[in-house]
Amino acid sequence: MAANCEPFVKAYLEELVAILPKLDARALAKAVDWISEAETLGHTVFTCGNGGSAAIATQMVVDMVKGASMASGRRFKALALTDSAVTITAYANDVSYDSIFVEPLKVHGEPGDVLIAISGSGNSANVLRAVDYANAAGIKTIGLTTSTGGRLRAIAQLPLLVPSDHMGRLEDSFFIVTHIICYSLMRKSD
């Protein structure tokens, strides 16, 4: 018979719920404004991340391209730099794993675009290279990461910080943050 995991489940939920009021609503609203402005001006939103953060980056693009575009009547151009296994593996094999996001961003990115970089540690080299390039190329950068460390926090023009070091609760919170942003974009303009 399995051990009683109810205390663990309750503690996990309590710790997750305690994080949410600590999220910066002003920074989240600014992210919505940047993405909305990019759509208005015909710019593209790019996302990137590794592992679970890659899944979140992909889901955010779905929520913008399909969800926000259909619900609001606007057309959000968004691309997840995580979505082409062929491109990723070609760069990883032929150049370096650190180049998998920055090189496609150099091809597709333009000044006025937005890059949303997601990293639980805040120290993923391939994510940081993309942010460094974007900052230099006139692409606005949003960093979704932990509030307790990592270089992403320091270099993103708009850091969206989650006060946790637990990867599960970080990723749970990252999904919530991206849903707040995307569901805000789904609202019809007044």
Q: What is the pLDDT of residue 3?
A: 75
Ordered per-residue pLDDT tens for the chain, 190 residues:
567 899 999 999 999 999 999 999 999 999 999 999 999 999 999 999 999 999 999 999 999 999 999 999 999 999 999 999 999 999 999 999 999 999 999 999 999 999 999 999 999 999 999 999 999 999 999 999 999 879 999 999 999 999 999 999 999 999 999 999 999 999 865 4
Query: What pLDDT was estimated at residue 117?
Result: 98
Query: What's the total number of domains in the chain?
Result: 1
In a domain, 190, yes or no: no
Residue range(s) defining the domain that contains residue 111: 6-185
Residue 86 has a CB neighbour count (10 Å cut-off) of 7
Residue 35 is predicted with a pLDDT of 97
Please name the residues in contact with 47: beta carbons below 8 A apart, sequence gap of 6 or more: 57, 58, 60, 61, 78, 79, 80, 81, 82, 115, 116, 117, 118
- The reply to whether 1 falls in a domain is no
pTM of the model: 0.95
Beta bridge partners of 159: 143
Neighbouring CB atoms inside 10 A of 71's CB total 15
Question: Which CATH number does the domain housing residue 42 bear?
Answer: 3.40.50.10490
